[in-house]
């Protein structure tokens, strides 16, 4: 399955068709760039407070199907000496949230855009450095242009909700779900970049299913005793 945004409806339809009969599922949509952290030893870890917060909102018996939105370039490191971690080991970190035997990764592949350092003000009043991006054809850089992955997460959230499913967003970024205007702006920039023959710009999303077996018993309780990653400042 390789959509960007256009055929996410078909992707979600396939996932819904795999649900147990007469048992609608919840879906945990994970903002991988925000939740997954790289440790000093090269392995990945999760921001434990975000996982535990999501855990409190899930049905205790059925949990959820986990879908992690993440850059393709980071995924490509898995199983190599750079990451020191396999896809299965990363998927296992989401045991506190999941049911069933698999985790899906929605992998966004696009070239790195032109970057510019700017600043933004957080809701807590703190000033934070922020990257702004410019896709081919854009006159000025904008932080929104850096967030192709957020557009995927937003579209998935909308599509699951349209199908009367519980869709829980797991992220420390309060603005990860984009507005209609933001989605339209980003979609216009992507369309213009794709139509620029000189730019060689591309973007696609590949869904990977990682089968890992049933989740570990009491995974959430174990996580409370052994947090997986330090917390970053509020976003």
Cα gap 118→71, rounded to integer Å: 22
HSE on the CB side for 138, CA within 13 Å? Answer: 23
Q: What's the predicted TM-score (pTM) here?
A: 0.90
- Mean pLDDT value across residues 23-41: 93
80 CB-side CA count, 13 A: 8
pLDDT tens digits, one per residue of 172-187: 998 999 999 999 999 9
Confidence of residue 1 (pLDDT cuts 50, 70, 90): very low
How many whole angstroms separate alpha carbon 21 and alpha carbon 171? 30
Q: Are 163 and 12 in contact (CB under 8 A)?
A: yes
- pLDDT greater at residue 216 or residue 69: 69
Residue 200: pLDDT band (50, 70, 90) is: confident
Checking if the pLDDT of 124 tops 80, the result is no
What is the per-residue pLDDT across 69-82, written as a single tens digit (0 to 9) for each?
A: 999 999 998 987 77
Nearest CA to 153 out of 140, 170, 137 is that of 170
Residue 107, CA distances (Å) to 84, 115, 146 in order: 19, 21, 15
Contacts of 178 (CB under 8 A, 6+ apart): 144, 147, 150, 151, 154, 186
Residue 2 pLDDT grade (very low, low, confident, very high; cuts 50, 70, 90): very low
As a whole number, the mean pLDDT across the chain is 88
SS3 66: strand
- First and final C-alpha spacing in the chain: 32
Beta bridge mates, 201: none
pLDDT tens profile 131-153: 899 999 999 999 999 999 999 99
In this predicted structure, the answer to whether residue 89 has a pLDDT above a threshold of 90 is yes
What pLDDT sits at residue 60?
87
pLDDT band at 119 (very low <50, low <70, confident <90, very high): low
Q: Which two tokens stand for residue 108?
A: 């966004």
Question: What's the whole-number mean pLDDT along residues 22-31?
Answer: 92
Burial of 84 (0-12, 13-18, 19+ CB in 10 A): middle
Confidence check: pLDDT of 126 > 50: yes
């Amino acid at each position: 399955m390789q959509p960007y945004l256009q055929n996410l409806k078909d992707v979600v339809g396939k996932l819904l068709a795999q649900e147990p009969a007469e048992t609608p599922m919840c879906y945990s949509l994970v903002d991988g760039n925000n939740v997954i952290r790289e440790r000093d030893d090269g392995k990945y870890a999760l921001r434990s407070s975000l996982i535990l917060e999501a855990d409190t909102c899930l049905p205790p018996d059925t949990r959820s199907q986990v879908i992690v939105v993440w850059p393709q370039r980071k995924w490509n490191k898995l199983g190599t000496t750079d990451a020191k971690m396999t896809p299965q080991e990363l998927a296992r970190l989401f045991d506190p949230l999941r049911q069933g035997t698999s985790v899906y990764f929605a992998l966004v592949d696009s070239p790195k855009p032109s970057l510019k350092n700017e600043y933004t003000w957080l809701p807590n009043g703190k000033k934070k450095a922020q990257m702004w991006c410019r896709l081919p054809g854009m006159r000025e850089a904008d932080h929104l242009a850096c967030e192709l992955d957020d557009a995927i997460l937003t579209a998935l959230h909308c599509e699951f909700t349209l199908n009367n499913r519980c869709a829980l967003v797991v992220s420390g970024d309060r603005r990860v779900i984009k507005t209609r205007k933001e989605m339209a702006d980003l979609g216009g920039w992507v369309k213009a970049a794709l139509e620029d023959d000189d730019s060689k710009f591309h973007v696609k999303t590949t869904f990977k299913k990682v089968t890992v077996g049933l989740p570990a018993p009491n995974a959430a309780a174990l996580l409370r005793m052994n947090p997986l990653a330090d917390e970053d400042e509020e976003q």
